[in-house]
Chains A and B, each alone.
Chain A
């Protein structure tokens, strides 16, 4: 079964850091571009970042550029999102997603930035 499982969310103070992980299974992870999308409480979906199949190309939303870093380890079938200098407005459920059609979504991991 094709699956994505996020982990690493939690409560962090403003200015703090967190690293999210996404474990992929059931498909050839190294063949796919991957994305992170977030959803603030009661709000819509917002694209955060994407990475190409081998990690050589990355892109970010302006709101996280310079603070977040996306990466992947194809040997471990794992996607990462390093989040630094966190702000209250980064509070959201973060989803790991496969492909530009976003055909497979994880269950999400919740990040709460609050003092």
Chain B
């Protein structure tokens, strides 16, 4: 099973600040890494697919990078509406797995 380790677990950030969340895979997964945003009492929402591909309708301040085992989600100029928990997910091999999540709080 591929383990995805996200860091940090929690981040408290002021608006307009840049946020960086990392996701490390226990073995190489190529670019089969996707990022999701989950707000309280809502379903997760796809932000970035295949490590760096943007999703229609997602603000351009969200971007992804990486390949192999190390991946990054960047939120440029954080807005209040970005308060949420962020998850990475690998679709390279079964069982599909998710990172433990990173909760982003707005100061």
A residues lining the B interface (CB < 8 Å): 35, 44-47, 50, 59, 61-62, 95, 100-103, 105-108
Q: Which residue from chain A places its CB closest to the CB of B42 in the assembled complex?
A: A107
Given A45-B89, A101-B50, the answer on whether A106 and B96 have CB atoms closer than 8 Å is no
A47, B95: Cβ atoms closer than 8 Å: yes
CA of A41 to CA of B76, assembled, Å: 30
Contacts of B24 in A (CB 8 A): none
Chain A interface mostly helix, strand, loop or mixed? Answer: loop
Interface Cβ pair total, 8 Å cutoff:
49
B87 contacts A45, C-beta separation under 8 Å: yes
- Residues of B within 8 Å of A, CB-based: how many? 22
Interface CB pairs A-B, < 8 A, 23:
A44-B99, A44-B101, A45-B38, A45-B87, A45-B98, A45-B101, A47-B95, A47-B96, A47-B97, A47-B98, A59-B94, A62-B95, A100-B96, A101-B34, A101-B49, A101-B50, A101-B91, A102-B34, A102-B36, A102-B46, A103-B46, A103-B49, A107-B43
Known: A44-B101, A45-B87, A47-B98. A105 touches B44 (CB 8 A): yes
B100 within 8 Å of A (CB atoms): yes
Distance A27 CA – B99 CA, assembled complex (angstroms):
29
A59-B94, A61-B95, A108-B43 known, 15 other contacts, Cβ within 8 Å:
A44-B87, A44-B98, A45-B36, A45-B44, A47-B97, A47-B98, A50-B96, A95-B43, A95-B44, A101-B91, A102-B36, A102-B44, A102-B46, A103-B46, A105-B44
